[in-house]
Structure 1
Amino acid sequence: MQGFTIRRVVEDTTPLRDFLMKDMGISRKMLTLVKHEGKIEVNGIHRTVRHELERGDEVVVTFPNESPSPHMTVSNRPIRILYEDDSLLAVDKPAGIATIPSRLHPTDTLANAVLGHYARIGLSSTVHVVNRLDRDTSGVVLFAKSGFIHHRLSELQKTNRLTRTYVALVEKEVSPQTIDAPIGRAEGSIMERTVTESGQHAVTHILDCQNFNRDFLLTIRLETGRTHQIRVHLRHIGHPLIGDSMYGGANRMLRHALHSASARFIHPLTDEEVSIEAPLPQDFRYT
């Protein structure tokens, strides 16, 4: 069975292999899969990647059909959909649920719930998570409905063309600034991270700080995506998240006050700008 299909019109003479990889954004690994299990056509005729394209040719690539992992359990947990089309899904993740299955949370995760949504709409696909959030972080999580879209969105993330904005609650005012401090695993801990010279490069931009009830609401953009990055960097500058017991935050919420508020990117198929927003969660308003 064949699955996801994309088509493009050629603008200049070029080898088909180059067009598939450079213009259509198909990775080398995925191209090998398409050659063996999918279909590549030029003007309706099957062609090998050695074919020379001419201006005006139409290239159609059909990817192999995907199937969900047999090890993943379908969950009927409801999801709040922020955006959906034939290739993308964006969900407003609640706090207290893991993004993907793990040893501690093997079944009732956001990914399991998305698999349940796919079953309800008749989509046979692997669950491709584009961005993960900590269990107690809420907000926008993106899912790609095919391996090709997942690859394209991952490439956008690497080059900061998929931007995600977070909001966070702290007790004291913080001036807008950039925190450039490497993050690594804290000594003697599996989960905790810390700023350390031996850590990985990590950059956090605090864009704005506003009064919010008796606290302060920060708007934050990540340049890198290290584990617990915002939480670690805010502790590093002396402003831990409210509710973040691991990193010294005030014990005034049942979870750390961090929310993935928005995601913006150019759609990998339509080239149109997509802007997705998740409303501020209720527990932020009653700290």
Structure 2
Amino acid sequence: MVKHTRKGQWMEIITPVKWQGKTIEDIFRNGWEVPRKLTHLFRMEHKVLVNGNRANWNLPLVLGDKVLVKLFGDEENSSVPPFFYDVQVLFEDDHVIVFNKPGFMNTHPNEETDRNTLLNAAQFYLESKGENSKVQQIHRLDKDTTGAILFAKHSIAGAILDRMLEKRQIKRTYLAIVQGRLELKKGTIHEPIGRDRHHPTRRRVSPTGQEAVTNYQFIKEEKGNSYVKCWLETGRTHQIRVHFSHIGHPLVGDILYGGKPLYKRQALHATKLEFTHPITGEEIICYAPFIDQPPIFNGIDVYTL
């Protein structure tokens, strides 16, 4: 674990054993895997100091060196207008924030006029605390899906988490209610997903689509429907919804993919989010309580999933 202290706009790290002998260049490019363009920006704008002086990016660090990185309050103004919504925070520190997304809310604006999205609400939340951050979503949830969703508070955290997502190092667990009784209590749906040429928003299983892998485990049966825990190896649009519809068990409430309209939305909730903290390296696990009123999921403790 990398210990650090916030000092105004700067993050201070006393060089730990794991950094000894490495250069700032090594840490940015190989340790954090920050993109070349962003690394160049930090170098050219002198946003890294070592022992109070402008960093020599090619000089090996010595155990105990004070490294300061200017991460906070020095980014360009956000183009996302703030929008007030009392959204639940599941985890927060100086670098990342995890929200419990409500239903019927987009993750981000799809049109220039969109305001009531989670990204806008996140911007309002930070500004109301006096934080001058350009918040960045790391992944997304469908408009009518609820649950845990991860945001970065600054560009370095965002770049590191983007890379983790690409490498499938951020684990997302969902709970769904699907129609009917599942023949297999545990399995994997490995079917490529592509666009439906006959519908602007639908996706479908297609041999020319992108690889998509959904793992699932039966939890319980209620009123002829099955509660299913799902965890993804890929993150395709509508992935869980498409996969279960494809095997004949559409999500309850998901009328777009053949589900019965028993609820106002599809019965899908992102219950748990697991990731390695981009700066400290510690393992973070967030559980998202159910927030539907009236409730959709009954008799389930999210902390056991």
> In structure 2, what is the equivalent of residue 246 of structure 1?
256
Stretches of structure 2 that go unaligned for 5 or more consecutive residues are: 1-7, 299-305
1:120 and 2:128 are equivalent in the alignment:
yes
User: Kindly tell me: are residues 67 and 250 of structure 1, through their superposed partners in 2, closer, same or farther at Cα, counting changes over 3 Å?
Assistant: same
Residue type of the partner of 2:271?
A: A
Stretches of structure 1 that go unaligned for 5 or more consecutive residues are: none
Residue type of the partner of 2:48?
A: I
User: Kindly tell me: are residues 214 and 38 of structure 1, through their superposed partners in 2, closer, same or farther at Cα, counting changes over 3 Å?
Assistant: farther
In 2, distance between residues paired with 1:147 and 1:214? Answer: 47
User: Kindly tell me: are residues 18 and 285 of structure 1, through their superposed partners in 2, closer, same or farther at Cα, counting changes over 3 Å?
Assistant: closer
> In structure 2, what is the equivalent of residue 168 of structure 1?
176
Identify the match of residue 59 of structure 2 among 51, 65, 75.
51
SS state of the match for residue 140, structure 1?
Answer: strand
Work out whether residues 139 and 278 of structure 1, in 8 Å CA contact, stay in contact via their aligned partners in 2: yes
Give the CA deviation at 1:161: 2.2
In 1, distance between residues paired with 2:227 and 2:113? Answer: 31
Per-residue deviation, residues 103-150 of structure 1 (Å, max 9, x unmatched)? 286111111111111111001111200121110011111111111111
User: Kindly tell me: are residues 103 and 252 of structure 1, through their superposed partners in 2, closer, same or farther at Cα, counting changes over 3 Å?
Assistant: same
User: Kindly tell me: are residues 84 and 16 of structure 1, through their superposed partners in 2, closer, same or farther at Cα, counting changes over 3 Å?
Assistant: closer
1:82 and 2:82 are equivalent in the alignment:
no
In 2, distance between residues paired with 1:140 and 1:227? Answer: 17
Work out whether residues 181 and 224 of structure 2, in 8 Å CA contact, stay in contact via their aligned partners in 1: no
Work out whether residues 67 and 124 of structure 1, in 8 Å CA contact, stay in contact via their aligned partners in 2: no
Residue type of the partner of 2:257?
A: Y
> In structure 2, what is the equivalent of residue 111 of structure 1?
119
State the percentage of identical aligned residues: 33
SS state of the match for residue 248, structure 2?
Answer: coil
Work out whether residues 32 and 160 of structure 2, in 8 Å CA contact, stay in contact via their aligned partners in 1: no
Give the CA deviation at 1:56: 4.6
User: Kindly tell me: are residues 73 and 13 of structure 1, through their superposed partners in 2, closer, same or farther at Cα, counting changes over 3 Å?
Assistant: closer
Work out whether residues 173 and 209 of structure 1, in 8 Å CA contact, stay in contact via their aligned partners in 2: no
Tell me the TM-score normalised to structure 2 length: 0.86
> In structure 2, what is the equivalent of residue 284 of structure 1?
296
Give the CA deviation at 1:186: 0.7
In 1, distance between residues paired with 2:134 and 2:112? Answer: 22
Residue type of the partner of 1:138?
A: T
SS state of the match for residue 227, structure 1?
Answer: coil
Give the CA deviation at 1:204: 0.5
The residue correspondences of 1:147-162 to structure 2 (distance < 5 A) are: 147-162=155-170
User: Kindly tell me: are residues 50 and 269 of structure 1, through their superposed partners in 2, closer, same or farther at Cα, counting changes over 3 Å?
Assistant: closer
SS state of the match for residue 296, structure 2?
Answer: helix
In 1, distance between residues paired with 2:267 and 2:10? Answer: 39
Residue type of the partner of 1:156?
A: M
Give the CA deviation at 1:63: 3.5
Residue type of the partner of 1:16?
A: I
Give the CA deviation at 1:238: 0.6
> In structure 1, what is the equivalent of residue 50 of structure 2?
42
Residue type of the partner of 1:20?
A: F
Deviates more, 1:22-31 or 1:136-145: 22-31
Residue type of the partner of 2:158?
A: H
Work out whether residues 271 and 288 of structure 2, in 8 Å CA contact, stay in contact via their aligned partners in 1: yes
Deviates more, 1:4-13 or 1:154-163: 4-13
Work out whether residues 218 and 226 of structure 2, in 8 Å CA contact, stay in contact via their aligned partners in 1: no
Tell me the TM-score normalised to structure 1 length: 0.91
1:192 and 2:227 are equivalent in the alignment:
no
In 1, distance between residues paired with 2:226 and 2:192? Answer: 25
SS state of the match for residue 245, structure 2?
Answer: helix
Per-residue deviation, residues 196-253 of structure 1 (Å, max 9, x unmatched)? 1100011000133322455221100010001111110001111000111111011211
